[in-house]
A and B are shown apart, each in its own frame.
Chain A
C-alpha cells in the first residue's frame, strides 16, 4: 500500500512539473507559427490584393500604387520588414490566404459573416459603399434604386464581391451577370448589354466622368455602407492583435483619413497612371 501511494505521488509530481513545460511549448508554438513572427523572421510581409482602381493598381512604371498599397507599405515599414505584393484573382483570394500563398489580404475586402467563418478580420480601417452607374440608352427613365428592381433589368458586378451580394439583396428581381474583372463589367455596360454596373464608390462616379456620352449616375451617393478590414488566417491571435492595434494607431494619427482623402476624394493620383 505504501509503495502504491509513493508511486502515485511520484507520478503526480512528474505531471505537475511536466504540464507547465508542455503549456510553455504550446505558447512557443503559437508564437512561432504566428504570421507576424514568420514575416519578421523572413524580413518580408506578403500581401495579397487584387487590381481595383483606386484601391490597388499599377502606375505607368509598373509599380503598385493605390490606397491599399499605401496602407500595406506603411504597415510593413512600421513592422520593420519589406513588403511584397501578390496580385491575385479576387475569386480565389481567400483560398490563397488559407493555403498560405501570402500573409494577409489588404485589398478592400468587405467584412462579411460568411467570409468570417473562413478567415479572421481586423477592425475596419475604411467604410465603403456601393454605388451604381447606368447606361444612358437602356436606363433612360430610371431615377432611383427601385427602378432597377425589375425582371427585365440586367445588372453587372464583379464575381464574388460584396457588390454582387448587394445587387442580389437590393434588386432581387433584376438579372445579375458577374465577371472576374471590373474592366469586363464596364465593357458590358458600354456595349449596352446591361442596364447598370454596381461597384464600390468612387468607381461608378469615375466611370460616368470618363464616358459622359454613354453613362450617367441615376442617383447620387451610395446605397450600402460596409466595413473594410484586413483578412488573416484563423487561430492567429498575435497577428490579429498587432494589426488591430496598428489600425487604431494610424487612425488616431490622422494618417488613415489623409490617405483616404487623397485616393477617394481627389483625382490627383491620375497623372501617375497615365
Chain B
C-alpha cells in the first residue's frame, strides 16, 4: 500500500512542540528543585589521569569501564555458545535433553538475577572455583602468562570472583538466548527441511546449510539486543564487589559525594558502549536481509 511521500504536517508540529515543552519543563523543574553545586571539573581525572611518573593511566571510572567491557565480552561469548547449544537442543531434540534444557530455561528465567548472583557467589563458586586455588595456579605460571590473564580477565587476586561473575551472567543471559535461538529455528517452515531432505542432505547438513543461515538472519536483531542487555546487566555484579563501572561509581560517590556528576558520567559511559553495538547490529541486519526468507 503506497501512502505517498513522507511530509511534515501540522499534527507532527503539534506533537514535536508538546514533547519539547514537556522535556524542557521536566529539566528546568528538576534542576531548580535540586539545590546542588555542580563540580564537573573534578570528574575527568577519574576517567584518565597522569600517574606520578608522568604516564597516562586509567582512573577509577576508566578502570571500571575496562572491567565492564571484559566482563560483558566473556559473558556474552559464553552465553551465546551456551544458549545456542541449548536452543538447538530445545528445538530439535526429544526426551531427556529437551527436558533438561527446559528446566534450565524455566529455572533461570524465573529468578531475579541479583539473587542468582548472591547464591552463586557465596555458595557455589567456592566449590567450583576455590579462590585460593585459582590465584595460586595463576601466580605459579610465568609473568607473561600472568600478564595475559590480567589483561584478558582480571588480576590473579580478583580472578576467581571475576570468573564467578562471568559464569553467572552467562548462565542468566544464556536462558534468554536459548529461547531466541529456539524461536528462530522453529520459525523456519517445514518446507525448508523437506526441500533439504529431497536434495539428499543429512539432518545435520540441512541444519548447517539451509535452516541455519535463515534462522541466524532472523534471530540477529533479538540476539544483538540480548548482547546489549548483557552489558547493562553486568552492573548487577557490583553487589559481589567486582570492580566494574557501577561499583567504582558507587565507591567514588561514597568518597567524594559527587553524586549526580558520577551517576551521569556512568550513564553516558554505558550509553557510549551500547550505542555502537546497536548501530552495528542494525547494519548486520540489513546485510543479512536476503537470507531471512
Chain B residues with Cβ below 8 Å from A191 are 34
Instruction: Kindly state the separation between the CA atoms of A46 and B131 in the bound complex, as whole angstroms.
Output: 12
The answer to whether A92 and B157 touch across the interface, beta carbons within 8 angstroms, is no
Listed A/B pairs (8) with beta-carbon separation below 8 Å? A52-B254, A58-B255, A61-B49, A87-B241, A101-B131, A186-B257, A186-B259, A190-B35
The answer to whether B45 and A60 touch across the interface, beta carbons within 8 angstroms, is yes
How many A residues are at the interface, by size bracket?
A: 35 or more
Q: Is B256's CB within 8 Å of the partner chain A?
A: yes
Contact (A182, B254) CB under 8 Å given A187-B259, A190-B36, A214-B35: yes
The answer to whether B243 and A87 touch across the interface, beta carbons within 8 angstroms, is yes
User: Which of B36, B52, B63 counts the most A-chain CB atoms under 10 A from its CB?
Assistant: B36
Chain B residues with Cβ below 8 Å from A101 are 131, 161, 241
The answer to whether A181 and B157 touch across the interface, beta carbons within 8 angstroms, is no
Instruction: Kindly state the separation between the CA atoms of A178 and B23 in the bound complex, as whole angstroms.
Output: 31
The answer to whether B157 and A46 touch across the interface, beta carbons within 8 angstroms, is yes
The answer to whether A274 and B42 touch across the interface, beta carbons within 8 angstroms, is yes
Q: Is A160's CB within 8 Å of the partner chain B?
A: no
Q: Is A88's CB within 8 Å of the partner chain B?
A: yes
Chain B residues with Cβ below 8 Å from A210 are 257
Q: Is B28's CB within 8 Å of the partner chain A?
A: no
* Residue of B whose beta carbon sits closest to that of A182: B254
Q: Is A57's CB within 8 Å of the partner chain B?
A: yes
* Residue of A whose beta carbon sits closest to that of B250: A181
Of residues 166 through 199 on chain A, the ones whose CB sits less than 8 Å from some CB of chain B are: 180-184, 186-187, 190-191
Q: How many residues of chain B have a CB within 8 Å of chain A?
A: 34
The answer to whether A57 and B122 touch across the interface, beta carbons within 8 angstroms, is no
Apart from A51-B251, A92-B118, 5 more pairs, CB < 8 Å: A50-B254, A61-B49, A96-B241, A101-B161, A181-B250
The answer to whether B250 and A84 touch across the interface, beta carbons within 8 angstroms, is no
Which A residues form the contact surface with B (CB < 8 A)? 38, 42, 44, 46, 50-53, 57-58, 60-62, 84, 86-89, 92, 95-96, 99-101, 180-184, 186-187, 190-191, 210, 213-214, 273-274
Q: How far is the CB of A206 from chain B (nearest CB, A)?
A: 10
The answer to whether A184 and B255 touch across the interface, beta carbons within 8 angstroms, is no
Q: Is B59's CB within 8 Å of the partner chain A?
A: yes
Instruction: Kindly state the separation between the CA atoms of A100 and B164 in the bound complex, as whole angstroms.
Output: 14
The answer to whether B131 and A51 touch across the interface, beta carbons within 8 angstroms, is no
Q: How far is the CB of B141 from chain A (nearest CB, A)?
A: 16
Chain B residues with Cβ below 8 Å from A214 are 35
* Residue of A whose beta carbon sits closest to that of B58: A62
* Residue of B whose beta carbon sits closest to that of A84: B157
Instruction: Kindly state the separation between the CA atoms of A105 and B35 in the bound complex, as whole angstroms.
Output: 37
